[in-house]
Amino acid sequence: MSTAARARLDPVDPSLLRGLRDHVHEALRRAIVSGEIPSGAALNERQLAEELGVSTTPIKEALRRLENEGLAVTEPRRGTRVTFDARQAEEMALARAALEGMIARLAAQRVDDAALAAIQATVEQMRAATAEGDVPRLIALNEQFHDAIHDASGCRYLHRLIEGQRVYDHTARSIILGDAEERGRAFAEHAAIFEALARRDPDAAETAMRDHVVRSGRHHVKAAFDRRKEQAS
């Protein structure tokens, strides 16, 4: 066997080659969350199919998924409408907070030293990026930080569920983190979460994580919907 003679390769993940339905879903989700498609707007299958240059089949699948995520509702034989307003964005942020808190609690119980060291390294990089005001880097580190905690918890289902509660896009994130004060607050919160994990203190980890996500989520929602109100007037 030749495999014994060379380095072992990672198996490819077939799910990376995604089909049209995922592109359609992503495009629609982005447009809905960013407010480009307002709440209440109709999502016409044939119209979307023509606009996106695909058939109605992948459109239907994408719409079903949006429906399941709570971003759209379908009335049989009537049509699908977007349902995403400030109220729902707040609830999604709260859901995220509750779930991130729970996963942080589990991570505090299960994290090993290697993972803890990696998280600490991320926090140190965040400290630097925060001081420098390197926003794109901060966004990447943010994700890395939260993903590392999810990994440490070992909870894949919770991770997936949390990912589904995103109420901001990359652009919104950039705007928020453009403010130095917000960067400072976020860093302090991240540091507190790390400290709790380092002490393997589940209660503290959950509280710190939840407070962070609640505050940050509120900030995002307020900023996003205030902006929309302005643009509307």
Mind giving me the DSSP string for 8-75?
Answer: PPPPP-GGGS--HHHHHHHHHHHHHHHTSS-TT-EE-HHHHHHHHTS-HHHHHHHHHHHHHHTSEEEE
Nearer to its own copies by C-beta: 73 or 180? 73
With contact defined as beta carbons under 8 Å apart, do 66 and 28 qualify?
Answer: yes
What is the nearest approach in angstroms of DNA to the Cβ of residue 10? 16
Give the chain's radius of gyration (CA, Å).
20
Nearer to its own copies by C-beta: 124 or 147? 147
CA 82/CA 85 separation, integer angstroms: 9
Nearer to DNA by C-beta: 5 or 232? 5
Distance of CA 136 to the CA centre of its chain: 16
Q: Which residues bind DNA (CB under 7 A)?
A: 14, 17, 19-21, 42-47, 54-58, 60, 74, 76-80
Nearer to its own copies by C-beta: 61 or 169? 61
Q: In the structure encoding, which two tokens stand for residue 48, read together? A: 């979307």
What is the nearest approach in angstroms of DNA to the Cβ of residue 37? 14
Residue 68 interacts with which of DNA, its own copies, none, CB < 5 to 8 Å by class: its own copies
Residue 73 interacts with which of its own copies, DNA, none, CB < 5 to 8 Å by class: its own copies
Sign for the pseudo-dihedral over CA of 103, 105, 107, 109:
negative
Q: Which residues bind its own copies (CB under 8 A)?
A: 14-15, 17-19, 21, 57, 60-61, 64-65, 68-70, 73-78, 88, 91-92, 94-95, 97-99, 101-102, 106, 155-158, 160-161
